[in-house]
Structure 1
Amino acid sequence: MIKYLTYGVSPFQQNCRIVFCPDNRNAVIADPGDSARELALEAEKLKLNPVAILLTHGHQDHAGAAQDLARLLNIKIIGPEHGDAFLLEGMSYQGQMLGLPPVDNFAPDIWVTDGQELDLQLNEPVKVIHTPGHTPGGVCYYFEKSGLLLSGDTLFAGSVGRTDFPRGNARDLVQSITEKLFLLPDSVKVLSGHGPETTIGNEKKHNPSLAYMMHLAK
């Protein structure tokens, strides 16, 4: 079974996660929005072998340290879906909007697609679920065997991702959650980009923000 550790990075306390297989010690680092050197040192301290960086979407608080971390560890950046190219290609301007230090524009080594299965050397496949709405190219990563979902800024505990950023879309977000994420088992643990963990079942029953967004999207 996959294990993970959570680190709050950037002034937005974005949840960066080191996800690893305890058997072979291979790891992926998901959404390193800041603190590249610290994350690299943490992986070394834990005696892990990072094999890739996963990005759920192109906002700087999730992707800002990806380039530096990839260079430090000599690993590839995977994701998001190509719809977020405009965000990564405009990364140098995002800092001005978000009040964060400037970061160079970049593209990942691998764009992902909906339904794709990734072999990240973690002894279980990772499924890509394209979940537009917060951003057009946003994705979630589903570890079916371990019952874990890296949901980025699509779904939170009691809330959902904002859609008032460039190319956000409330109707798309509602469809991504209700027609894709809510088809997963209720027991799946949702590891959100901000805030506490939750489950699919809990969010089906108790998510007031989603109910409000469904009303707006009609």
Structure 2
Amino acid sequence: MKWKQIPLGPLQTNCYIVYDENQSCLIVDPGDNPRKLATVLEQLELKPEAIVLTHAHFDHIGAVDRIRDKYGIKVYIHEKEKDWLPDPSLNGSKHFMLNEPIKARPADHLIKDEGAMSIGSFEFEVFETPGHSPGSISIYFPEAEFVLAGDALFNGSIGRTDLPGGNHNQLIRSIHDKLLVLPEQTEVLPGHGPTTSIGLEMDSNPFLNGF
């Protein structure tokens, strides 16, 4: 199992392509620049299976419809944010974007439970990690030893909690109970910025002192 990080859009939101030896792939958080994303997919000769969203803030969903329509694939999101894709007041674009607000059609599949999940040939675990937003999830590939943490945990930082539905204490609990319990060598693929590891964040993240 391999992955590729592609920063997209004005906030340089990390989109991830997770792909296997058969050239199938999952697209996680296609935030903007659909043409750039499609070019990378074509260069790697990958066949998209689905789009999975760690959460529905505008900077993570801007290319959803263009990519799903181009490849004829389904979109997955946690049920707590099922109304956010078409609603600029919920996804935040109404308040942050200078140009047109971001809208996308509703997701095709709602994630309702934690635990093992499969899409095509991909098998992974879903953790509910709310706090940055109510329906934030993290996506864990145990055999490949990496977790896509969305905007929950960053290299040396954590997600902001001052947006609608955010909760600082809830986010700290999510990180502590769902992410810091993973093996220390687990690579953390965050929604912004460089990658890190569980062990590194346990040792040096100033927001997680005391864990």
What is the TM-score when the length of structure 1 is the normalising length?
Answer: 0.89
- Within the candidate set 106, 112, 134, 1:136 is matched to 134
In the alignment, is the contact (CA less than 8 A) between 2:93 and 2:101 conserved in 1? yes
Structure 1 stretch displaced more, 178-187 or 130-139: 178-187
Structure-2-length-normalised TM-score = 0.92
Q: Which runs of 5+ in 2 are unaligned?
A: none
Structure 1 or 2: more helix by fraction? 1
For this pair of structures, how many residues does the alignment match?
A: 209
| Match of residue 159, structure 1, among 137, 157, 160 | 157
8 Å Cα contact 2:53/2:60 also seen in 1: yes
Partner of 1:102: 101
Structure 1 portions without partners, runs of 5+: none
2:203 alignment counterpart: 205
Alignment CA distance shift 1:43-1:105 (3 Å)? closer
CA distance in 1, matches of 2:205, 2:17: 27
- Structure 1 Cα separation of the partners of residues 79 and 169 of structure 2: 20
| C-alpha contact 2:152 2:158 (8 A) present in aligned 1 | yes
Please give the alpha-carbon distance, in whole angstroms, between the structure 1 residues aligned to 2:83 and 2:166.
13
**Displacement, 1:86?**
4.1
Letter in 2 for 1:48: L
Determine whether 1:173 maps to 2:171: yes
Shift of 1:208: 0.4
Alignment partner, residue 25 of structure 1? 23
The alignment partner of 1:186 has SS state of coil
Aligned twin of 1:72: 70
8 Å contact 1:127–1:143 — kept in the other structure?
yes
- Aligned counterparts of 2:120 and 2:148: Cα–Cα separation in 1: 17
- Tell me which stretches of 4 or more aligned residues in structure 1 moved more than 6 Å: none
Give the equivalent residue in structure 2 for 1:45.
43
Identity of aligned residues (%): 39
Match of 2:87 in 1: 90
